Amino acid sequence: MDASERHLRLLTETTAAVNSTLDLEEVLHLVAEKVAEALRADACFVYLYDERTDELVLRATHGTSVAEMTRRPRMRPGEGITGTAAAERAPVMIPSAAHLDPRFKLFPNLPEEEYESILAVPILARGETLAGAVNVRTRTQRSYDETEIALLVAIADQVAQSLLHAQLYAQAQRRVAELEALARISEAVSESLYLEESLEAIVRTTMDAVQATGAALVLEDGRIAWPGGRAGSHAVRTPLRWKRRVIGELVADRDTPFSDDDRALLEAIAHHAAVALEHGRAVMRGVVAQEIHHRVKNNLQTVASLLRLQSRAEGVDPREALEHSVNRILAIAAVHEVLTEQREEDVELADLLDRLRAMLVQGLAAGRDVEASLQPVSLGGQRATALALVFSELLQNAFEHGAGAVKIELAQRNGDVVLAIADEGAGVGGAANGTGLSIVQALVRDELQGSFDLTGSRAEVVFPS
């Protein structure tokens, strides 16, 4: 078989090999392998042209490799021997001592100086548009003849078409992945009524979509709503915009730079994140408004019941009755305030009772010595309202009918909550049958499912925690 027949067979085999797949990375490595075999070279380097950065980027090698965990070698057209071939759209061949050529560009992570010869040709799409470059190297001196140069040029022309198809396929695959990622986010946002679930789904999908090492949603107040993964050496911060207002940002990290396609996908994800955030906030506002309405309605019903009970009492000074009613309403308002501040269903009783103590001392017993020992105890909103009313009634009785210092105790004992109020007086006397203590007994029995004991000047309420 003469040289021309062998070259034709090699061209046919190489073309068939690189056309056997649409996977871009596989195509590039097949090019490097088949070109080295076709020209009996020790190594082959395949560069792709990145139009955005105007650089040739090394994408595949055969016979050698780039040192791991280092940056890909890059050069502009006109830099280095291969860059010269790309810029001039013509082959460049150096038979020996290629590393001593003034055009030679050294990469510390690529051992090119160990090779003597080089033959570099451009990869041109449609015969003119630069798509990349390929070179073959040998460790011994070698002069390539015209037929070998023509073979590499012919292979490069066929490779250009294969690369074009592979790149189009890669773009299509990437677009499918992007649409799938956005669909997953849309599904998570539309199905979940819980903001945290939506934000978690967005962060996880973001990491999968752009192969990020970590991601997070940062709200406009600087609070991190949901973090995931770890930080990388490269980060992209994409603003979340809602009606021309920035309401946060999507942060993505990874160890390699983000492409323009990655950034475009992150912008689309950020848009969905902004929608999810506002959707979740709207839902929460609706839930909060409904909860507040429910609490206000219950509180007003309680106030109405207390006033109705007060109106049935006989022989009561109207002014005193009105003052007691005001204090009861303030006690209910204190519970409502704590629930609104905490935005939780449970109330910390120590904080609540301390507020009520300060309010009643200021209104009824300024200068009176009051000692409080309040252990941490949490109680649901409705039961906390009942206990606040009980506490207010008992403390008012101690101020109005007792004497000396007042001692308040809140503690847990064997699974029960104990509230005790005592003073240094002789006891409430005739007030034991008054409206206030009737309210206390009813609330302890019906709302707290507990017991009430009044012995001398000490009142004690015990109920299950």
Q: Return the pLDDT at 185.
A: 64
Of the given ranges (10-19, 119-128, 298-307, 451-460), which has the lowest mean pLDDT?
298-307
> Which among 239, 189, 238, 235 is positioned nearest to 212, based on CA atoms?
235
Residue 299 lies in a domain: no
Residue numbers of the domain that contains 214: 176-283
- Residue 1 CB neighbour total at 10 angstroms: 8
pLDDT in tens, 298-352: 555 555 555 555 565 566 566 665 666 666 666 666 655 555 555 556 778 787 7
Q: What is the mean pLDDT of residues 425-438?
A: 62
Task: Tell me: do 124 and 20 sit in the same domain.
Answer: yes
Helices and strands per DSSP (H, E), number in the chain: 10, 17
Residues 13 and 133 in one domain: yes
pLDDT at 96: 92
* One domain, residues 149 and 85: yes
Q: Looking at the domain assignment, is residue 86 inside a domain?
A: yes
More confident residue, 460 or 243: 460
Pairing state between β 416-422 and 378-380 = unpaired
137 band by pLDDT with thresholds 50, 70 and 90: very high
Least confident window among 155-164, 402-411, 416-425: 155-164
DSSP 141: -
**CATH code at position 236:** 3.30.450.40
**Residue finishing a domain among 149, 171, 193:** 171
Last residue of a domain, one of 237, 261, 283: 283
In a domain, 274, yes or no: yes
Q: Are residues 13 and 153 in the same domain?
A: yes
Does the pTM surpass 0.85? The reply is no
118 and 141 assigned to the same domain: yes
Task: Tell me how far CA of residue 312 lies from CA of 190, 226, 227, 389, 424, in angstroms.
Answer: 54, 56, 59, 19, 31
Query: Among 96, 146, 98, 93, which residue's Cα sits nearest to residue 120?
Result: 93
Are 37 and 138 in a shared domain?
Answer: yes
pLDDT of residue 70: 59
Same domain, 164 and 181: no
Both 165 and 183 in one domain: the answer is no
d(CA 29, CA 47): 11
Residue 72, pLDDT > 70, answer: yes
CATH code of residue 385:
3.30.565.10
Rounded percentage of the chain residues whose pLDDT exceeds 70: 68
- Check whether residue 399 and residue 417 sit in a common domain: yes
Q: Which of 150, 171, 192 is the last residue of a domain?
A: 171
Residues 349 and 431 in one domain: yes
CB atoms within 10 A of CB 20: 12
For the chain, the domain total comes to 3
Please check whether residue 293 lies inside any domain of the structure. Answer: no
* CA quadruple 220, 233, 210, 259: dihedral sign: positive
Radius of gyration of the chain from its Cα atoms, rounded to whole angstroms: 40
| Same-domain pairing of 257 and 369 | no
Is position 308 within any domain? no
Say if 334 falls within a structural domain.
yes
Residue 302 CB: number of other CB atoms within 10 A? 20
Tell me: do 318 and 450 sit in the same domain: yes
Highest mean pLDDT among 198-202, 371-375, 431-435: 371-375
